[in-house]
Structure 1
């Protein structure tokens, strides 16, 4: 069994197309999408239409919930851009997406954590941005991952939201090497390789390169394994699109995989 995992496309259609081609070359039997599909100053409607045609198993992320339920005055600018671009058919498709999904075979999907689409699973935000060069975020400890996993005992739990490719393994009480464990996999972001945020503290997420990220999980006689993949695409075209739509901070992130201009400096306020 070989499953491709994508997440956090954020309307980046060129990145999505490159990943679709790479998945085809990898010979994946299924593809699952973990949400945050359209929000951002790129190609929200076109991206949703592409995914509607593909028919992949898909869950909603926090940005789908925000675009569909928040009053526009309370939306951040990325959500507002998507809300203005989406038509009735795209909205109906997004509204029908589940918050979580059991793929079968021991694979279960969420966007943030099993209980919260805004919570970080494999990373922890810290209140020390800038101190000794800290980005204000670190890899979660084993105890933190275990606590966030809660009562779930699936062989594989797939998550997104943080745009950070990462794999962790939780051994459950009474388990031992290879048995009684959960593999938690975040494929990273197809569409946005870096961002800054201020919840619950200011922090910066940076993958360090502009590549589109996704993952491949495989099951053989020895159990499940995961491979994190970085795929090249025309990120300059995406960056120019962001600039044309007034988002120089997105352009910086798309070109470099690092935070350049900050969101508050470009749009004048924080986003949800």
Structure 2
């Protein structure tokens, strides 16, 4: 059976993606799946799009890929949005524009957030008091109608492997490019890996079911942080350098 590498939430981080691709050369991987949010940041979006277009057998669209092709009022165009729009070329735009929201391959269902929403966490439940593992009943409701034995997702930037009572397995490989961030919806919260490493996963089916390997790869994250700082994103620089975030970032 093929060994699939799962990459998600690269967010234009060239140094992190290059380190992951280098690590993949030693892992006997057959194919690569890219789970979306490939370019959105003030780092190196065009380079990352070029690389992912070459190496990924399957790429799906994330919410921050999709937004690049929607009508966005000038007042709502933040620094990252403007940076990516200026950096991407026509080939990279065409690659992003043609990505599906979901894909099915090898008894595996691929989505960015949930099967029906690229802005909703599948495995995390955000409350006024923080972020918790999603109750199984809510996960089952979100994947209703999905029959594949493995579901792979991104969006939360948190590496998780969750086994359901019905036998289905869900894997989030974590974020290649941004290990932490804060958000206001549905309540103010932070997502943080706790370390600045680039994350990805490998899945392979054997006689006992799906085997999952989660990796945290060291790379020159201080250099990535300096790029973010130079391009006007002090908060992103802190997230990249530490893997931690605060509500007021």
> When the two structures are superposed, what TM-score results if normalisation uses the length of structure 1?
0.87
Q: Secondary structure at the match of 1:204?
A: strand
2:33, 2:56 within 8 Å by CA — same for their partners in 1?
no
Query: Which of 82, 85, 96 is the aligned partner of 2:84?
Result: 82
What stretches of structure 2 of length at least 5 have no aligned partner? none
Q: Which residue of 2 aligns with 1:268?
A: none
Query: Which of 178, 182, 192 is the aligned partner of 1:196?
Result: 182
Quick check: which has more Rg, 1 or 2? 1
Q: Which residue of 1 aligns with 2:232?
A: 246
1:67, 1:80 within 8 Å by CA — same for their partners in 2?
no
Q: Whole-Å Cα distance in 1 between the matches of residues 149 and 97 of structure 2?
A: 29
Equivalenced residues, count: 247
Q: Secondary structure at the match of 1:51?
A: helix
Q: Which residue of 1 aligns with 2:209?
A: 223
Where has structure 1 moved over 6 Å in runs of 4 or more? none
What stretches of structure 1 of length at least 5 have no aligned partner? 129-135, 173-180, 264-272
Structure 1 pair 124–77 and aligned structure 2 pair: CA distance change class (3 A) = farther
How far does the alpha carbon of each residue in 1:216-262 deviate from its partner, in whole angstroms, 9 at most, with x for none? 11111111121211011110110000000010101101011001584
> When the two structures are superposed, what TM-score results if normalisation uses the length of structure 2?
0.95
Once the two structures are TM-superposed, the CA of residue 195 in structure 1 deviates from its matched residue by 0.2
Segment of structure 1 superposing worse, 83-92 or 234-243: 83-92
Q: Which residue of 2 aligns with 1:152?
A: 146
Once the two structures are TM-superposed, the CA of residue 51 in structure 1 deviates from its matched residue by 1.7
Q: Which residue of 2 aligns with 1:19?
A: 20
Once the two structures are TM-superposed, the CA of residue 111 in structure 1 deviates from its matched residue by 0.3
Query: Which of 195, 214, 218 is the aligned partner of 1:232?
Result: 218
How do 1:162-177 and structure 2 match up within 5 A?
162-172=156-166
Query: Which of 98, 101, 106 is the aligned partner of 2:100?
Result: 98
Q: Which residue of 2 aligns with 1:132?
A: none
- Indicate whether 1:66 and 2:79 are aligned: no
CA RMSD of the aligned region, Å?
1.4
